[in-house]
A and B are shown apart, each in its own frame.
Chain A
């Protein structure tokens, strides 16, 4: 379970204090904040900016430069499918399409409305020998097929909430 919001805000304050509110630490601060919220909410970025004495436009610039930072809410399970050259050649796109169909997502809509899954492609995970590669949160899966990917997702859906029905 993610922390309730009040506690998460407490954690943001602690993150800022741990970094002595030093503007030079903006990137590690944003990383830690994203760990709390799974993305960077706008109000929190403004709070971080004012706490560090930085213009909010600068924080927004940093947050939008790095693809690691998400500005939209993301799911509990972040599925990163590699679409680098090796994975692409080894047919990563059919995996992407299968996952999009199963989770009812599109290239624009990357996160399920219940905030359980986010599906993204990345350019290379540096594990080309295992192509095609899929990473769910921190777990890496190699030589994935569309069927295997669906299997992984089904397992997570089942584990997540036995009472959630298939149409959730």
Chain B
């Protein structure tokens, strides 16, 4: 064995240069040895829990490579007999506690526990299996949480907290009882999860998986009374091929359309058509705000996880969110409003399915705002992975399919709608529109390279006539939180802010084929920008079928009809569903109930002092028998806090005097003070 040179160390006897790697694991992988890991992800903090990356460091013993910094002269062995045995033992122990249901598991084929067991040659488990079998959590339309398959690597916990800045799930309990659960072990639907699904994308096993709607979709496809149409999101066409052995970024739009037709969908439409429509509505809204008619900066609203996040954490910024529905919902409402008459079918029998790279879209489609006469505008949402499974189940040979084209009019798009699927795409598409609409500005620019890139947060300044437009592009909700805080404090000035919850935008969505590298995401993005270049048209305003849609149905951007079909409203949303905080001992049968919001916004506006003063008033006047005071979290009017509800009456910007007066008014009516009777 040769001694290591300065700046080098030895890996299995071979000299390797240290070039800024943060830990031995990165260095070993650079040297071409794929050490197994469950809990190491370069974009997350180092956790060191799975112990699979143990290596023999000469003179120091056995150490985890992920949390050992590289040093000149170290001599490392990665596969001694002892280490091989340790690794196999770890996998064996995990399997003993794992609820192995491989053939029927949602992660089968993409499960790292399965593939590592095979790779490490674990062919039997010597321990008595002791799986815990809690009922899987199916409370949300987007995800299934099955802790019986959890190996406690903590990837989901760190992703949710570190990249998304939420922390909806965390470790709880101790020892053999340890589990990753939402707060108070509530179902996921009752906590602050925004359903982005990145936990499921990073989960090495089947503990977190996207929830499938395949059985329902197969059923409607087989029902001759239903007319089933489908829309295809931009990001799907550059990723689906991966499930069939193609390179990430390969554009397979034609094959996907052919497959959808073969599966029995009557019409195939492009969500990018609705994205063109979104560009026009959103840019017009922006120009109106910029002209002095509303709150700036304007935040984009096409990402449903971001919308839910904003509703939970930034209710005071909701007036800044574009009122535009997402392309999925615009197309849903437009198709349901126009197609029945054209095809002479009953609206009830028209079914809209969408193929999305996203799990949060399943939640979005079920929002009550997007229902017409109690019927959802989009009936079912399938992920890219689910569509691939349909193609497999139907036995279609995807790569050999003859390409087919989408149906008109909603299958026609420009490049502007296609690039929506990449972070920065919405901003670029809006610029292509807005710059042409500003009087005196010649808008022949098509590509705005500065909006593209990998950074999670990019600030772009564009000259627009005599003014400068500042656009901020963020992906990942922790970054979105930073930007929102800076906007609130005034530290950041911007005109337009595009937020995508998933890194890289929709191409990195949790419904996409599983991929452990950011390289796949970049290639998918490139696929979208290449598609834009190959299309004849690049600006939403040049989409003549969108324009015809305006002539025939919508009349003009921002019109009454457009508002009915293409826009929406937002509501502040409680983060956790639970009881109000009881503050008085007597049972709540008092005639007057006072609920004081102590949520974050109201707290900052002095809700706590108000609560104390109201309590003092009730105690001093000995009204505890008649007035029930409780603190509550979020009366959903955070921008006008502190908010107090007294029986049915809501007081905004409440002060003690108002509250006392309201209480006295009610008491007066209910039980005239017994002054005269004594």
Which residues of A2-20 are within 8 A (CB) of B? 4-7, 9-10, 13
A43 engages B170 (CB within 8 Å):
no
Chain B residues, CB < 8 A from A56: 183-184, 191-192, 575-576
**Whole-angstrom distance between the alpha carbons of A4 and B181 in the complex?**
33
Let me know if B654 is at the binding interface, CB within 8 A. no
The SS class assigned to the B binding surface is mixed
Which residues of B106-161 are within 8 A (CB) of A? 161
B170 engages A61 (CB within 8 Å):
yes
Q: Which residue of B lies closest to A50 (CB)?
A: B600
The digit string for B39-78, where 1 denotes a CB below 8 A from any CB of A, is: 0000000000000000000000000000000000000000
Q: Which residue of B lies closest to A55 (CB)?
A: B167
Which residues of B175-200 are within 8 A (CB) of A? 181-185, 191-192
Please give the distance in Å from A134's CB to the nearest CB on chain B. Answer: 25
Q: Which residue of B lies closest to A4 (CB)?
A: B585
B173 engages A55 (CB within 8 Å):
no
Chain B residues, CB < 8 A from A58: 161, 167, 170
Contact of A55 with B170 at beta-carbon distance under 8 Å, contacts A6-B583, A6-B584, A60-B183 already known: yes
B580 engages A5 (CB within 8 Å):
no
Q: Which of B359-367, B462-470, B611-619, B640-648 contacts A (4 or more CB under 8 A)?
A: B611-619
Let me know if B501 is at the binding interface, CB within 8 A. no
Chain B residues, CB < 8 A from A47: 581, 598, 631, 633
Please give the distance in Å from B547's CB to the nearest CB on chain A. Answer: 47
What bracket does the count of chain A residues touching chain B fall in? Answer: 20 to 34
4 closest Cβ pairs, A-B complex: A55-B167, A56-B183, A57-B170, A6-B615
**Whole-angstrom distance between the alpha carbons of A7 and B600 in the complex?**
21
Please give the distance in Å from B145's CB to the nearest CB on chain A. Answer: 13
Known contacts A13-B612, A43-B582, A57-B167; 12 additional CB pairs below 8 A are A6-B583, A6-B615, A9-B581, A10-B615, A43-B580, A43-B631, A46-B578, A55-B161, A56-B191, A57-B168, A58-B161, A59-B183
Please give the distance in Å from A78's CB to the nearest CB on chain B. Answer: 20
B584 engages A46 (CB within 8 Å):
no
15 contacts between A and B (CB under 8 A): A5-B585, A41-B581, A42-B184, A43-B578, A43-B631, A56-B191, A56-B192, A57-B168, A57-B181, A57-B191, A61-B170, A61-B172, A64-B173, A65-B172, A65-B173
Let me know if B570 is at the binding interface, CB within 8 A. no
**Whole-angstrom distance between the alpha carbons of A54 and B584 in the complex?**
27
Q: Could you tell me which A residues sit within 8 Å of B by CB distance?
A: 4-7, 9-10, 13, 41-47, 49-51, 54-61, 64-65
A9 engages B172 (CB within 8 Å):
no
Let me know if B174 is at the binding interface, CB within 8 A. yes
**Whole-angstrom distance between the alpha carbons of A54 and B575 in the complex?**
12
Please give the distance in Å from A74's CB to the nearest CB on chain B. Answer: 17
Chain B residues, CB < 8 A from A55: 161, 166-168, 170, 183, 192
Please give the distance in Å from A129's CB to the nearest CB on chain B. Answer: 28
Chain B residues, CB < 8 A from A46: 183, 576, 578, 633
**Whole-angstrom distance between the alpha carbons of A43 and B581 in the complex?**
6
Let me know if B417 is at the binding interface, CB within 8 A. no
Among A45, A55, A58, chain B packs the most CB atoms within 10 A around the CB of A55
Chain A residues, CB < 8 A from B608: 13
Contact of A60 with B603 at beta-carbon distance under 8 Å, contacts A13-B612, A43-B580, A43-B581 already known: no
Chain B residues, CB < 8 A from A5: 582-585
Contact of A10 with B612 at beta-carbon distance under 8 Å, contacts A47-B631, A55-B170, A65-B174 already known: yes
Q: Which residue of A lies closest to B603 (CB)?
A: A51
Please give the distance in Å from B265's CB to the nearest CB on chain A. Answer: 40
A57 engages B580 (CB within 8 Å):
no
Please give the distance in Å from B606's CB to the nearest CB on chain A. Answer: 12
Q: Which residue of A lies closest to B631 (CB)?
A: A9
**Whole-angstrom distance between the alpha carbons of A41 and B184 in the complex?**
11
Let me know if B528 is at the binding interface, CB within 8 A. no
Q: Which residue of A lies closest to B599 (CB)?
A: A50
Contact of A44 with B581 at beta-carbon distance under 8 Å, contacts A55-B168, A55-B170, A65-B173 already known: yes
**Whole-angstrom distance between the alpha carbons of A118 and B646 in the complex?**
38
A64 engages B581 (CB within 8 Å):
no
Please give the distance in Å from B401's CB to the nearest CB on chain A. Answer: 45
Let me know if B444 is at the binding interface, CB within 8 A. no
Please give the distance in Å from B530's CB to the nearest CB on chain A. Answer: 40
Let me know if B629 is at the binding interface, CB within 8 A. yes
The digit string for B467-502, where 1 denotes a CB below 8 A from any CB of A, is: 000000000000000000000000000000000000
Please give the distance in Å from A100's CB to the nearest CB on chain B. Answer: 23
Which residues of B365-422 are within 8 A (CB) of A? none
Q: Which residue of A lies closest to B178 (CB)?
A: A65
Chain A residues, CB < 8 A from B600: 50
A57 engages B182 (CB within 8 Å):
yes
Please give the distance in Å from A88's CB to the nearest CB on chain B. Answer: 20
